[in-house]
Amino acid sequence: MNTPHSPHTLQVSLRECRLVLERLMQVIGTPPGMVPALRDCALYSAALELGGFNALQQHLHMLENSAAAPLTQDHPHGVIDCTGQHAWRVADSLLDLLADDFQCHGSARLIVTNVQAPDELRVIQALGERYGLHVTVSTTGQGIALEAQPRAAIAPATLQRVRAQGLSVDEGLWWTLFNRANEALAPDSFESRRHAGSIMVDAEGRLVGRPDEDETDLSLLMAGVAAGTTAPTH
């Protein structure tokens, strides 16, 4: 990843990262209930300098061509078979198992097998911070070991760092991702502009559900219709 000082690098805010990543998950057909989890995994992949933005399109392709499936667990040995699923798709479930064991025993350890993009399981290190956990991820002869211990209170959380500093991303790559994310938006049309934002407008340009003396400027709507604009609605 380029340094923040490169003229071809953008420093993108947490809000913008989440917005684009969430739309990208929608573009590849992610079930709505899984969108926030996969969005945050992609965010933390960049924050922890794993695959991050550079490998994002590759990960999106893998996710698009796979589906969620139940995990299987060998209870006596704490071995979790992820059935070939992508690491981002199983990260929250694995963290839930770790957190539950930690609450019961004061520490927790799982062995994970049969997972796609296993290096990306390290996003659980950041995801675990919300539970006050310090999660380590290491490779063993059996598979990927996940271990949870209490997190030091003085250590800054990954999310706090991203909120304060944003994330560095190559400018060209960012706009490629941004433009693809726009595929999740409705095409710009007279109909879509009538329903954009906090108001609705009928076919004659009258506001629906708000007073007629509302100060909303409708000139952009009407000018766009006259010019035949077809850009995505933001």
| Whole-structure pTM value | 0.78
Q: What is the pLDDT of residue 67?
A: 87
pLDDT digits over 70-89, tens only?
998 876 667 999 999 999 99
For residue 13 the two structure tokens come to: 């805010």
For residue 134, what are its two tokens?
Answer: 């310090």
The owner of tokens 């990927």 is 144
| pLDDT for the residue 34 | 94
| CATH code of domain 72-150 | 3.30.1370.180
In CATH terms, 9-67+158-183 corresponds, of 3.30.70.270, 3.40.50.620, 3.30.450.20, 1.10.1530.10, to: 1.10.1530.10
What does the pLDDT read at residue 5?
45
pLDDT along the chain (234 residues), means of 10: 60 96 96 95 96 96 91 79 95 94 90 95 95 92 92 80 95 96 81 64 68 60 58 50
Domain with CATH 1.10.1530.10 in the chain: 9-67+158-183
Query: CB atoms < 10 A from the CB of 110, how many?
Result: 21
- Return the half-sphere exposure (C-beta side, CA atoms, 13 A cut-off) of residue 91: 29
